[in-house]
């Protein structure tokens, strides 16, 4: 399953390797040698937190100023003041691009 230096892994390949590692019972070094992947690469994948999402409805937003709170998995939090449903939708669309 290993790839040559500089080759990119698909999301599915990354997830499969992380799951294989977790089930293997091996240490990171041994697993990486067995699978012929970089130690640093696997460590980086293991350090990533999966994104979590919550449903946002804009039906309850009125024309009065409202606050939206966005919390990222890395601990960063941002409070956004919006004055309309359209502005809230613009922010949500923009955040989806990230």
User: Which residue ranges make up each domain of the chain?
Assistant: 11-47, 51-98
The confidence score (pLDDT) of residue 33 equals: 93
DSSP state of 88: H
The confidence score (pLDDT) of residue 87 equals: 83
Within the chain, residue ranges assigned H as helices are 11-24, 28-35, 39-47, 85-96
The confidence score (pLDDT) of residue 4 equals: 55
pLDDT digit string, tens, across residues 41-89: 999 888 866 556 666 665 555 555 677 777 766 667 777 788 877 887 7
pLDDT digit string, tens, across residues 32-42: 999 999 999 99
Q: Note whether 97 and 90 are within 8 A (CB).
A: no
The confidence score (pLDDT) of residue 24 equals: 92
Residue 27 has pLDDT above 70, yes or no: yes
Q: Look-up: residue for tokens 């041994």? A: 30
pTM: 0.46
Residue 14 has pLDDT above 80, yes or no: yes
CA 40 to chain centre: 18
């Amino acid at each position: 399953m290993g790839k040559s230096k500089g080759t990119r892994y698909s999301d599915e390949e990354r997830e499969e390797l992380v799951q294989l590692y977790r089930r293997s019972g091996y240490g990171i070094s041994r697993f990486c040698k067995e699978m012929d992947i970089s130690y640093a690469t696997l460590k980086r994948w293991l350090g990533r937190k999966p994104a979590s999402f919550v449903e946002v409805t804009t039906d309850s937003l009125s024309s009065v100023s409202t606050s939206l709170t966005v919390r990222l998995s890395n601990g960063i939090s941002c409070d956004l003041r919006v004055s309309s449903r359209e502005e809230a939708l613009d922010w949500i669309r923009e955040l989806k691009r990230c």
